[in-house]
Amino acid sequence: MSASTSLHPCARCAAMQRTCCQRAEILVTEGDVERIAAHTGSRSFFERRAPTDPGYLDADEDDPNWLRYTVGTDGTRRVLKRQPNGDCSFLGAAGCTLAVETRPLVCRLYPFAYNEKGLFGEDSEYCPTKVLAPRGQPMTEVLDIPSTDGQRWHRQLYEELQNGSA
């Protein structure tokens, strides 16, 4: 096995292209804020701002409550701050510096596709699937993310969204 194929798939992705940690605007729930603050000892890792990608404000017929849950009346969302180069503030040389159960729920859920009703396949738009999954296997399999974890994180995400204010 070559050194490049022995790397975690996310590290291999990062060697090929800008990753989801560099391209996506990472939404955080109040629960995410509390978990990360407990881990880091700080609450300065997030901000409220309007999305730079207007796609984050598109209404979704399959998830009609998403905007109400995630966008405040002022048009802002609670998101992770970025480093000056645009990377997520928790992206380190070896990937995410947060333990899996501390990461924002939307990060843990990627690449599951989901709406308020549940998980339904994958949305691996940020993954170079032809390279990381050359045999066509699901990215959740490549990344070794059990569907039971995805289901648990999905429930937790929507509970936190429903109980918290945007």
Is 10 among the domain residues?
no
In a domain, 7, yes or no: no
Summarize pLDDT for 57-113 with one digit per residue, the tens: 888 888 999 999 999 999 999 999 999 988 899 988 777 889 999 999 999 999 899
Tell me whether residue 6 is in a domain.
Answer: no
Range of the domain at 75: 17-163
In a domain, 8, yes or no: no
Residue 140 CB burial class (10 angstroms; 0-12, 13-18, ≥19): buried
Radius of gyration, alpha carbons of the chain: 16
Domain count, the chain: 1
Q: Would you say 74 and 23 are in contact if contact means Cβ atoms under 8 Å apart?
A: no
Q: What is the pLDDT of residues 122-166, one digit of tens each?
A: 887 777 777 777 888 888 888 888 999 999 999 999 999 999 866
To which residue do tokens 């060697």 refer? 15
Could you tell me the pTM of the whole model?
Answer: 0.87
